Each structure stands twice: as structure tokens, then as C-alpha cells.
Amino acid sequence: MARAIGRVLRFASRLKPLLAHSRRDVEQLLKPIRCLPLALALLAPAALPAHAQTAGSPTAHPPPAPQAAACPNVAQLSAADLYGAWHFQLATQPQPLRGTLVLKQHPEFSASLRGEIDWGHGVTAIASGDVENGEFNLDESRDGKSLAAFWSGQLTPAACGHEIRGAWQPLPGRTGTQDSESAFVLQRSHGPRPAPRPAAAVPQAETAPFKAAPGASAPGW
């Protein structure tokens, strides 16, 4: 028994230097590994792509594109909203008729319209009318004394007040060459609109132009 214990003690004394030497070797091996997290932390930003480095930083966004103004309610447009130059086309046969219409404030009725029509080839006319709840009406005269035709139409909602479609109704023998009803399209021309005149001091009941029956004379042009 004593001999066995002695042998164990001698083996342990021989093993102790070996263990100490092995621990130093292990620590030398582990030293670079212990420094590895710090090295990785220093190298990580350089190894990331440029877009990844800026992922956390605030980015500048382009300003939102301006939105187009909403179309006005054509039922709420007044005569003043129609002032200006317009091009028109009549679906006449054998070819369409084209011309221009300039709408201004009526000289006597401030809430109504005065129109100057140029049919081309030296043919002109004047007109009086109004617009109400999106409905457009003009009474045309070639001589300033008698009715020649009626313009009756509606403002096109999708055109934002820049288009009127309807029917042109001539009186027999009053327009020279065209006596049949035709569809028309009025489209606003580009350019400045005439400024409205100061409102005339007239009773409210007289703000609408005279409406005559077909064939009757039309005073007050």
C-alpha cells in the first residue's frame, strides 16, 4: 500500500511541470483569439458596402410633386368665369364651320354675357346670353336688331370650364347660308381674359338679357 502511494506521488510531481508548460502554450494560442472580437469590430465598417453603412442614417426624400388643382364645379361658374376668347366648330355638312367667339361682360346687364362672333370671310355677329347651373345660352344677331340663331349648351365637367357642347339653332333665312340645326363645340383659347367692367346699377330682376321668340326682334343688344 505504501509503495503504491509513493508511486502516485512521484507521477504527480513529474506531471506538474508538464501541466504548467501546457497551460502557457494554451494561453499563447488563445491570446490572438481573445483579440479577435476587437479586430473584427475595427474592420467591420470598412468591410460593409457603402449603402449598408448609410442604412441607419437619415435619407433625404425628394419633395412631393405638386398636385394639379381640382376642377371647379361647372354648375357654380358665373358669366365672369367664361370671359375670354373661344374657338368653335359646328358639325355642318358638307364641311364643318369654324370661327371664334369672344365673351365679355354685357354692357347693360353685369351678370350676363356679350359675345362677339367672327365666322370668317368678313361675316360677324353679336350675341347676348348667360350661364346658370352649367347651362350656357346665347342669342345671336347678325345685324344687332333681330335674332339669327340660338346657342344652347352645357359646360363639360371634365374640361374644368374650358369646353361647352350643345346645339346651334338658326332661324330660317337669318344666317345667309346655313338654316339647319348643328351640334357645336366651344373650346377656350389661351390668353388673358378681359377684365370685368364695374357692375351697373340695375335692378336684380333685370340682370338677364331679353329672350325673344323665334322670328321676333331683339331689342337691347
For range 125-154, the mean pLDDT: 96
Cell of 88: 368653335
Rounded-to-integer distance, Cα 90 and Cα 185, Å = 7
pLDDT in the model for residue 180: 87
For range 171-194, the mean pLDDT: 80
Residues 110-119 pLDDT 10s: 999 999 999 9
Tell whether 60 is covered by a domain. no
Same structural domain for residues 186 and 80? yes
Cell of 103: 365673351
Tell whether 216 is covered by a domain. no
pLDDT score of 84 more than 60: yes
Tell whether 62 is covered by a domain. no
pLDDT in the model for residue 174: 83
Fill in the DSSP letter of residue 221. -
Rounded-to-integer distance, Cα 66 and Cα 75, Å = 26
Same structural domain for residues 126 and 184? yes
Cell of 161: 370650364
Task: Check whether the bond before 94 is cis (ω within 30° of 0).
Answer: yes
The CATH number that applies at residue 82 is 2.40.128.120
Sign of the torsion formed by the C-alpha atoms of 71, 114, 206 and 155:
negative
Percent with pLDDT over 70 in the chain? 55
Q: Give the total number of structural domains in the chain.
A: 2
pLDDT in the model for residue 99: 96
Nearest to 188 by CA among 44, 88, 62, 118: 88
For range 191-220, the mean pLDDT: 43
For range 22-47, the mean pLDDT: 56
Interior/surface letters 192-206, b for 16+ CB within 10 angstroms, e for the rest: eeeeeeeeeeeeeee
Same structural domain for residues 181 and 113? yes
120: Cβ–Cβ under 8 A, 6 or more apart, which residues?
98, 99
Same structural domain for residues 37 and 94? no
Same structural domain for residues 78 and 39? no
pLDDT in the model for residue 126: 97
pLDDT in the model for residue 177: 64
Same structural domain for residues 82 and 127? yes
pLDDT in the model for residue 49: 53
Cell of 7: 508511486
Same structural domain for residues 16 and 114? no
CA count, 13 A, side-chain hemisphere, 29: 6
More confident residue, 52 or 94: 94
Tell whether 132 is covered by a domain. yes
To which residue does cell 337691347 refer? 220
Q: Which domain holds residue 31?
A: 2-50
Tell whether 145 is covered by a domain. yes
One-letter amino acid of 34: R
Same structural domain for residues 25 and 113? no
Nearest to 153 by CA among 162, 170, 165: 165
Rounded-to-integer distance, Cα 136 and Cα 165, Å = 9
Tell whether 130 is covered by a domain. yes
Same structural domain for residues 85 and 185? yes
Tell whether 212 is covered by a domain. no
Of 6-10, 51-55, 69-73, 118-122, the range with the lowest mean pLDDT is: 51-55
